[in-house]
Structure formats: structure tokens, C-alpha cells
Amino acid sequence: MSEMGKAGPVTVSPEAFLAMGREVLAKQPFSILMGAQLNALEPGRCELQLTIAEHLKQQNGFLHGGVVSYLADNALTYAGGTALSVPVVTSEYKINYVRPAVGDRLVARARAEYVGKSQAVCRCEVYAVTIHGEKLCAMAQGTIVPLPEAARPDIP
Amino acid sequence: MSEMGKAGPVTVSPEAFLAMGREVLAKQPFSILMGAQLNALEPGRCELQLTIAEHLKQQNGFLHGGVVSYLADNALTYAGGTALSVPVVTSEYKINYVRPAVGDRLVARARAEYVGKSQAVCRCEVYAVTIHGEKLCAMAQGTIVPLPEAARPDIP
Amino acid sequence: MSEMGKAGPVTVSPEAFLAMGREVLAKQPFSILMGAQLNALEPGRCELQLTIAEHLKQQNGFLHGGVVSYLADNALTYAGGTALSVPVVTSEYKINYVRPAVGDRLVARARAEYVGKSQAVCRCEVYAVTIHGEKLCAMAQGTIVPLPEAARPDIP
Amino acid sequence: MSEMGKAGPVTVSPEAFLAMGREVLAKQPFSILMGAQLNALEPGRCELQLTIAEHLKQQNGFLHGGVVSYLADNALTYAGGTALSVPVVTSEYKINYVRPAVGDRLVARARAEYVGKSQAVCRCEVYAVTIHGEKLCAMAQGTIVPLPEAARPDIP
């Protein structure tokens, strides 16, 4: 008789790991709407970008803060999720907007700075990019936690 | 000879105040994309909503956290801006996601809890609403500040 | 034969509940050093105070921000801990300082705004009090979570 | 005739810069009570430490979170203040506690990550240190702003 135990970790090539991350993004209708792309992904680190476009702006011609928050939050989640190796959800985060986002692309780089059993605390910087270089737009710090069992949300 | 001084505050009816707020929203392409609507607006308080729709979701069928953040951030900005009575920008905010947003509408209620010369510190709660009632989805606290002179961003 | 199962909740009078809270405070050397006193405690709500004194100040004659943070953090923890009914720890919090604390007493009032299975998200306001009244000094929002099993910290 | 204008910046040796920072600390009664020491200070960066002692603990034998917050807040303020080159105050900050602080010394390292005309956004890590090394206890991100003119607090 064979005994089936819990599967151990599977070795995945860096290319396959990034591909898996892109599959997740492709299943998020809102991320498709935002035009988000995953540039890089490794356990505990990611780079996410989107193209700055008219429909993402606010009344002063800058990218809407909500778009910057979206990219930071998604990047924090990828960093924490790949660090914890389980399905995760962002518990909370804080973001400072330091410059309006003006440029061609918005790029978010996040990494898990602390990884424990029940949480990953991650940081992220968001840049507005043009052919002339990058300018820091926002900085975030947030807490990523495993999704409760059976993907049930934490509802009393 | 006439002497022109700085104009004093103008009295605006509640309906006109709300209408002015809706005009600002109508000039934000991203807010139009999100389908955001301003339900209520008075100095220091606002209620903003949007319809939960497929294109705003993530891979588990819930509204994407970025949509919840967007609504909270915009609501904090309205509350702070109407309290400070000048053009403003969100300096920073923190948001806790407490439940996934599942329902028909997402509603954010924000108010300025502290109003000073150079900042308003505001709080916001975001609810997922169905015909059966409201469920709290997120809580935020953030700092709203006057836009630097001549609408120039704070860039060194 | 008797069957011993897990003990159900015990009914405690409001006075006893407050007394239990004061016992916890009395076991915290740092809280004794700060002179913190628990004025009120009920499930999910608390009021904590301390006397503003010279040794708690910074160079401008105001109470040191670290004292304000201490009181807010402790109050958030009491609110969350009594709401969750288990030993807890503060996972994280954010605090806005809105006025320097000048006065006779510092008072923090906190309450659990959301209570779930694995977290309580709490808010707190801190006031500087004189015989003339109260002035808001700080506002906080934080996440309180159950202490990991066996009081073991979350260390990988 | 001599012409007195606003003094330009003065060149200060690294040792003198650190000494100036220590003078500020020495004028903070609460910092003296905490036993805080400034190990390093340069524009935009600092290292602050204190000795973990019984009177700074809470009921489980760990350093009280309020002590960790105090050190992080003070370090953020030094980093932001030396970056902005004017008297400053912490506007707000967020802190994640990732491990209880157990050890001989608590060390906070902070740096200004963004420096603008009206704010510095700083980050800080706090470590519990023993002869065996350092363990990360907390991570913070906060906003440091110039003290309003004439050192008057921002009171409406």
C-alpha cells in the first residue's frame, strides 16, 4: 500500500515562478483593467508596473492616488505571498505619497523584510518612470497574512 | 477708486456644495472609470459609493483591495479638503482590510476628526452593502494637507 | 462520573473586570514607571491615563511623543484584548500627533471597532486634560492579535 | 559698514554633528529616563540605543512595546530633522512589532528615504541585541515635518 503524505515543496525554475505569478495577475479582472504587468518575481520580492494613461488620472493631470495605492498594495501582496508560500491577503498597509506620479510608467518594487509563521511585513517603493529616469512617488509598509482556512474570510 | 481685497468666504447652499463636489469627481477620469458617486458632502464629511462589478474584482471573486483603497483615499481627501477649504492632497494614509468586499455597492464614509492650519487628520469606514444591510470592510486613518502653492508638487 | 470540558465564559462584575485590568497594569514595570492608571474597562473599551510630569517631557516643555505613543498603544491593546477575550499583543499601529500634549493629565480612550476571529482593529484618541477641558493630542488605529500559542512569540 | 544677512550653512565636523545631537537628547528628560544614547548621527541617518532593563518591561518579561515605539519615533525624528536641517516634529508614524524585544540592548537605525521642502519620510528598524547578534523587533515608517514658525504648535 502506498502512503500519501503532505507534498513537500516543489522546485520551480525562476521562469516558471514568474509565470505562475503572471497567471494570478491574469485572473484579477481589476489588474487587467489597470494594465498591471509583473516584471519580476522571486520568493519575497517583486516588481510590478503599469502604463500611465489618461483614464487613470485625476483632475490635475497626475495619476490618481488610488492607482498608486493599487500598485503598492498588489506588490506588497506578491512579496508577502511568495515569502509565506501560501495564499495570502493584505491585512493592512500604510502609504506615503511623496510626489505626484507623472511619467510614462509606474513601477512598484516590494520585498518581504520580515517573514514569520503568521505574517510577512513588507515594504514597497513606487516610482514614476520616464526615459530620463525614475522618481520616487510613494513608500509603503504593510502586513501580509495567510488567507484563513478554506479561503474563508475572517468574518465573525 | 475701488479697492479690491481678497474675497471673503461665500455662502453656498448644501445642494450647491454637493454639486461642486460632484464636479470635481466628474473631472477625475479614474473616478469615472471606477463609477464613483458622491452621495453626500458637507464641510468635513462625505459619503462616496461605487457599484461592485466584475471588472473591479480579483481572483477569488471579491472586490480588489485596490478598489477599496481608492474609495477610502478619495473619501478621506473630500473630508479633509472640505474641512480645510483649500485644494488638498492626501499626504499619507493607513488602511485595515477587515472583511472582503462582497455585495452590491461599496460605500465609504469619511470625516475630518482634527482640523488644523496645515493638516486635517481624517478617518473613513468602508462598507459592502446589500439589500440585507451593511458589513464593515475596511477602516482608514489619513493625513490631508493643502496642495503646495501654485499647485506645484513637493519636489526638491 | 463528571465530564470536564473546556470551561465556558465566566460572568464577571464590571468592578471585577476593571480590577482584573488593573492587575495586568500593575504587573507591567514600564506602566508603573509611566504612572499609568486604568480609569475604565469593559469588553472592547477602555480609558487609560497618566499624570503629565517633568520626567516625561522633551526639550520644548511638551510631553515626549513616546509617552503619548505608549499610552495609545497600551489603550489599543486593552480594547483589543478585552474584545478578543484572550491574551493579545499589538501587531502594529499608526498614530497621528495633532497637538503637543500640554496639561495636567494625558487620557487615552480606545475601543475595538472590528472584532474577528483572528484580530481586533481598534482606534484610540489621546487628550491633554486641564481643569479647563480636554484637547485632542493624538489619534491612532491599530491591529491587535491573539498571542501565539503557549505565549511563544512569532519567531521563525 | 557691515552687512548682516541670514547666516549661510556652517560646516560642522562629524564629531561636532554627533555632539549636537547628543545635546538635544540630553535636554529630553524622558530620553534620560529611558537611558537613550545616540551612537551615530549624520544628515538623514542615525542610530539610537538603550539598555534593556527591568523597569522598561511588561508582564511577560519582554520590553514594553511603548519603549520600542519611543526609540523608533525618536530615531525617525533625528533622521528627518537632520535631513531637513530645521527643528522638526513627528507628524505621524506607523510601527509593526515583529518580535518581542529580548536581549541586552535595543538599537534603532533610521534614515530619511525622501526629503522634500515640507516633509521627510523616514524608515526605521529596531533590533534586540545580544552578544550573539541582532534580531529584528520592529519596523516603522513615518512623516517628519518642520515645527511651525516660532515653535508654535499647530493649534486652530
ipTM: 0.90
Helix C14-26, helix C65-84: angle, nearest 10: 130
Contact (CB, 8 A) for C62 and C102: yes
Whole-model pTM above 0.80? yes
Tell me the one-letter amino acid at B127: Y
If you measure CA to CA, which chain A residue comes closest to C155?
A116
Strand order in the sheet with A133-146: A37-42, A45-51, A105-115, A120-130, A133-146, A88-97, B88-97, B133-146, B120-130, B105-115, B45-51, B37-42
Which residues from chain B sit within 8 angstroms of residue C96, using beta carbons? Answer: 114, 121, 141, 143
Residue B95's nearest CA partner among A95, C79, D29, C101 is A95
Chain A nearest CA to D49, separation (Å): 21
pLDDT in tens, C32-70: 999 999 999 999 999 999 999 999 999 888 999 999 999
Listed in order, strand segments (DSSP E) in B68-151 are: 88-97, 105-115, 120-130, 133-146
Q: Do A100 and B69 touch (CB under 8 A)?
A: no
Dihedral angle over CA of D17, D18, D20, D25, nearest 10: 150
From C94, C154, C156, residue closest to A94, measured CB to CB: C94
Q: Do D114 and A136 touch (CB under 8 A)?
A: yes
From D143, D148, D154, residue closest to B92, measured CB to CB: D143
Which residues from chain C sit within 8 angstroms of residue D66, using beta carbons? Answer: 30, 34, 66, 69-71, 73-74
Chain D nearest CA to C79, separation (Å): 16
Given the candidates 1.25.40.10, 3.30.450.20, 3.10.129.10, 3.60.21.10, the CATH classification of the domain at B14-148 is: 3.10.129.10
* Beta bridge mates, A130: A133
Low pLDDT (below 70) residues in chain C: 1-9, 149-156
From D119, D121, D156, residue closest to B117, measured CB to CB: D156
φ, ψ for residue C74, nearest 5 deg: -65, -40
From D94, D116, D136, residue closest to A94, measured CB to CB: D94
Contact (CB, 8 A) for C91 and C145: yes
Low pLDDT (below 70) residues in chain D: 1-9, 149-156
Q: Do B154 and D92 touch (CB under 8 A)?
A: no
Q: Do C58 and D30 touch (CB under 8 A)?
A: yes
Q: Do A56 and B90 touch (CB under 8 A)?
A: no
pLDDT in tens, B29-44: 999 999 999 999 999 9
pLDDT at A80: 98
Which residues from chain D sit within 8 angstroms of residue C94, using beta carbons? Answer: 92-95
Count of CA atoms in the C-beta half-sphere (13 A) of A44 = 9
φ, ψ for residue B25, nearest 5 deg: -60, -40
Whether A101 shows a pLDDT value over 70: the answer reads yes
CB count in 10 Å sphere of residue A126: 29
Number of CB pairs, chain A paired with chain D, less than 8 A apart: 43
Whether B11 shows a pLDDT value over 90: the answer reads no
